[in-house]
Chains A and B, each alone.
Chain A
Amino acid sequence: MILGYAGKFLDIDLSTQTIKETKFSDEILKDYMGGRGLATKILWDRLGAKWETVDPLGPENLLLLLTGPLTGFYPGGRTCVSGKSPQSNGVVGSTLSGEFGVELRCAGYDGIIVTGESEKPVYLFLKDSDVELRSASDVWGKDGKQTVSVLTRECRGLLGTRYPKYGEWKEPAMLYVGPAGENKVRTAVVSSKWAHAAGYGGYGAVMGSKNLKAVVAKGTGPLPEVADIKKVKRLMDTVCNNVYEGELWRRWGTGGGGYEFGHKTSSEPIRNWQEEWHDEKGYGVDKFENRLWMKPYWGDFGCPTTCLKLAVVKTGKFKGAITDNPDYEMQAYLGPNLGIFIPEENVFLASLLDDLGLCGIQTGNVMGFAAELFQEKILTKKDLDGLELKWGDAEAFATLAKKIAYKENIGETLAEGTYRAALKIGKLKKMDLLPYAVQSKGISIGAHGIRSGQDFPDIISYACSVQCGDHTSLASLPLDGGGETMQIFNDSGVYCNFNSFGVPRKIRFDFYRAVTGLSLTREEWCFTNALRILQLQRIMLLLGGPDLTWNPKIHDDNPSRFYTPLPTGPYKGKAAHKAEVEEYKHRYYEAVGWDKNGIPTAKILRKLGLKDVEKALERISYD
């Protein structure tokens, strides 16, 4: 057995309510590591043969909650949520922070594989190897904060009764879905601790479709044994010291972004990306810090960065709203993107979306899309049940968010996500509405634009990414640079990106070697392991189905808005150029071993040891 792994995975079939343990061979763990990598492998092995027909929201889809060998060791442990995505019909490795991954590994498991569909709402409760499915009828329909309260109370009570002489139990870790997940909204998230969410991919809907409200874990054992404990401790110190020096992240997290990415880099979505520049000083981080942050440092277990800040609205109309920072993505998508430039209103919307279990990025994007259609008079007051969706009206957007979460009237259409909503409304209005949809292959684009050229994504980052609009997995060249392949490493080792900024890549591979005792070099990872994961993700994305498939010739592209020149700001007039994108795209295709149509070649698959996948190439269709 490879060191650094607990060695066991839980395999749960909700249809038959059976709980089994399963293992993966050393070769698989060595090749795919964990998290996103292993998720790709599991999905391919179990669903690959019938991928096109698997309904992401049906019982045959898998919900994967996986950790990696570095979870709990590398500071800032996370959990990777995956499955067939109801947004892209491909695979997204969506990670969220919190103690869940660490508790799970201390309980003796590296991950949980959930399949089937429970007849009644259930939640999974595990304390070490005692695993049980319990009725969730008490919490079904409850919002995020209520779910956490009720289940924490219930599970601590259970632990107290079962182990009366233990003393006070620290609360177990929990992943859960809100009402949006229960209602299978495609922009729903899997959440933890009120404000953390695995957003990209829409796995809240997958969890909800299985009638699984929550997974609660308590582990009392130690983390798995590692190869060189002294070295691991030394490396942990190195990473922590690096973080302690970066005072900016600790103090403000990404909270400064709401102003900076608009003002300095001109890459913030404003009114559904009609603009990307603003100079609203009232939206600066100082306003958030002085007026809203009740706690300057809020972090999860073992995290030296603590980029979270506890934001509470204390007075006024939105009194009682609680969320984290909000971080930059929430600040942007639930702020300027909806024409909102008041910190309190932003916190209110972020808090509401946390409660409903909606993804701030995906839902912020689709609400911005709807508001622009209202601005253009394509959607009328009548279409929106009397709602006047004016830019900057936080309460109107709150009403719309609730409609989306509960799938009421127009909400039912918008709950399908921006791309599907654009097709559906377009059909109704007999117009092409895709120019208003700022997304890539079904997934809304992260709040980092490419037009000004000043932000970190490249012009092909979203167009060619196997995780589509995901701003944390960006296609880029060179392959062994700090981009996509290293992001696959973070998501497969399953720890936080933010603790890897400024940490030399060598340290991260040293970490892997010290934990597992295996050898792995940067070259091996970037040109073999990561590339193998990338090919599998790409093939499953191109197979797609059942409702939508992607044609790389059409869909490996930026949203058309990114080709429209920026109307304002210091980078006015700048835009992405189609010819440049095409040229870069083909260089990228070549580097990752895809043909000119963007399909992985048999040659690269054979080289990476994916011979069995070759046959699937015949199944990739173009319409």
Chain B
Amino acid sequence: MLVPGLEFPHLCAQCEDYPCVKSCPVKALSISEKTGAVLVDNKICIACGQCIDACPGRVPHMHPKEKYIVICDLCNGNPQCVKVCQEGSWNVLRVVERGDEPYRLYARKPDEITKDLAAKIYGEGGGEYL
């Protein structure tokens, strides 16, 4: 929410080519066979931040106190964010089957998403609030 009223989840899109995994110099990142999510091995991670720059949406972020990166692991196939969203009957989030889609397109920086949302909700010139 860089602009009030324009909230959105800024989460891992699980790009089909996994640029973050490729960028890791110590192989701390791997791909879950079950869900396709990126898994972080906290013990191996050296907190270099290269995966952040490799990510087209700059989604990974560093743990504020410890030295390892945080990336959504889809809660091992049972995402808790989806659970609470549905419990509250907002139904904004849902679990979908992984298909053959260009997921990378969904990985976008918060500023980019905000700009598009602003134009959509606040009309032309809405991006100026950013």
| A interface list, Cβ under 8 A from B | 145, 148-149, 152-153, 156, 163-168, 170-171, 193-195, 220-221, 240, 244, 294-295, 297-298, 304, 310, 312, 314, 319-320, 322
Contacts and interface: CB of A to CB of B under 8 A. Distances in A.
Contacts of B7: 298
Interface string B1-20: 11111010010000000000
A165 B48 contact: yes
Contact of B52 (A153, A165, A220, A297): A165
Nearest to A304: B88
Contacts of A167: 49, 52, 58-62, 69
B59 to A, nearest CB: 8
Classify the secondary structure of B's interface with A.
Answer: loop
Nearest to A310: B5
B9 to A, nearest CB: 11
B121 A295 contact: yes
A193 B64 contact: no
Q: Identify the 7 closest CB pairs spanning chains A and B, nearest first.
A: A167-B61, A220-B64, A165-B49, A193-B4, A194-B4, A167-B52, A310-B5
A166 to B, nearest CB: 5
A320 to B, nearest CB: 7
Given A149-B129, A168-B10, A168-B61, A310 B1 contact: no
Interface of B: 1-5, 7, 10, 47-49, 52, 58-62, 64-65, 69, 87-90, 109-110, 121-123, 125, 128-130
Nearest to A152: B2
Given A164-B49, A167-B49, A240 B5 contact: no
B65 A220 contact: yes
Contacts of A195: 4
20 contacts: A145-B129, A148-B4, A152-B2, A164-B49, A165-B47, A165-B48, A167-B60, A168-B10, A168-B109, A168-B110, A170-B1, A194-B5, A221-B64, A240-B88, A294-B122, A295-B5, A310-B5, A319-B123, A322-B5, A322-B122
Contacts of B89: 244
Contact of B61 (A166, A310, A319): A166
A221 B62 CA distance: 13
B119 to A, nearest CB: 12
A312 B123 contact: yes
Tell which of A149, A167, A297, A320 has the most Cβ of chain B within 10 Å: A167
B121 A312 contact: yes
B61 A314 contact: no
B61 A171 contact: no
Contacts of A240: 87-88
B97 to A, nearest CB: 27
A163 B49 CA distance: 11
Contacts of A320: 122-123, 125
A165 B68 CA distance: 11
B116 to A, nearest CB: 14
Contacts of A295: 5, 121
B10 to A, nearest CB: 7
Given A156-B2, A167-B58, A310-B121, 6 more contacts: A149-B128, A165-B47, A168-B52, A221-B64, A244-B88, A312-B122
A357 B7 CA distance: 23
A314 B123 contact: yes
Contacts of B3: 148-149
A77 B115 CA distance: 28
Contacts of A170: 1, 10
B121 A294 contact: yes
Nearest to B61: A167
Nearest to A174: B4
A454 B92 CA distance: 38
Contacts of B5: 193-194, 295, 298, 310, 322
A171 B110 CA distance: 10
A124 B49 CA distance: 29
Contacts of B121: 294-295, 310, 312
Nearest to B69: A167
Contacts of A166: 49, 61-62, 64
Nearest to B58: A168
Nearest to B124: A320
Contacts of B60: 167
